[in-house]
Amino acid sequence: MKIALGIEYDGTEFYGWQAQANLRTVQGCLEAALTAIADEPIKVFCAGRTDAGVHASGQVIHFETQAKRNLRAWTLGANTHLPPTIAVRWVQEVDDVFHARFSAIARRYRYIILNHALRSAIFASRATWFYHPLQIEAMQYAAKYLIGEHDFSSFRSAQCESRTPMRNVQELIVSRRGDFVIIDIQANAFLHHMDRNIVGVLLQIGSGWQEPDWMLQVLHSKDRRVAAETASACGLYLNKVVYPERYPFPANEILLL
């Protein structure tokens, strides 16, 4: 049988999603917990691999197993074996064609910025601190340039292994909630560091160091060297994965941390 799980995690203490020898990773912890429940080796596949320090409230994984277990065993049992910073939030049996990554039609990330003169201890690993005042209107104006399908070469890392830089950004919203600036980005898929590199450019524009039209110049240059520094991982959350209607998974988006 094939099982899909909704996963939430605080990525602060992990070396990213992907299992690595002798390193603590989200995938490694999940596979160990599910293996204990199934009493057989379990390999999991995720909707989107996250880097070290990146969080998730809407990660989706799947795995296959010969073990016959009540669905509640996969949630309650797995959570018993997982560290407090990883939690299974829902479980569903899925058909044989489902794949957590390849069945997804969109992914949504949320980036949280603490825009205050002084840093926070509580939000030190849960939001990026940016002390310079941000002009939300300028960031909103610049964000519009990225809507639609474009070549995002200027926003991909040197380590990106994607065969094409073409991506379709469906939504890019910048909003303020008190001292927090929230950036929501939804696209059909993301290049490596694409979301954090977009945020880096928006921070330059919001601070007034660059004009909003600079976003268009960066996009058209197709050159990563023209763009801004990559934003910190700690403010980034994989917030939602969108699937076709035949997979009615529960929503598990965060509002604000």
Q: Which CATH class is domain 106-239?
A: alpha beta
pTM: 0.94
Q: What gap in Å lies between CA 172 and CA 177, rounded to an integer?
A: 16
Assess whether pLDDT exceeds 50 at residue 224: yes
Q: What is the pLDDT of residues 84-128, one digit of tens each?
A: 999 999 999 999 999 999 999 999 999 999 999 999 999 999 999
Q: What is the pLDDT of residues 31-42, one digit of tens each?
A: 999 999 999 999
Pick among 3.40.50.1820, 3.90.980.10, 3.30.70.580, 3.40.50.300: CATH of 2-103: 3.30.70.580
Q: What gap in Å lies between CA 46 and CA 60, rounded to an integer?
A: 6
Q: What is the residue extent of each domain of the chain?
A: 2-103, 106-239
Split at pLDDT 50, 70, 90, the class of 251 is confident
Q: What gap in Å lies between CA 238 and CA 46, rounded to an integer?
A: 11
* Residues with catalytic function: 51
Q: Which 8-state DSSP code applies to residue 56?
A: E
> Which residues, in sequence order, are CB contacts of 74 under 8 Å at separation 6+?
3, 5, 34, 37, 88, 91
Q: What is the pLDDT of residues 10-24, one digit of tens each?
A: 999 999 999 998 899
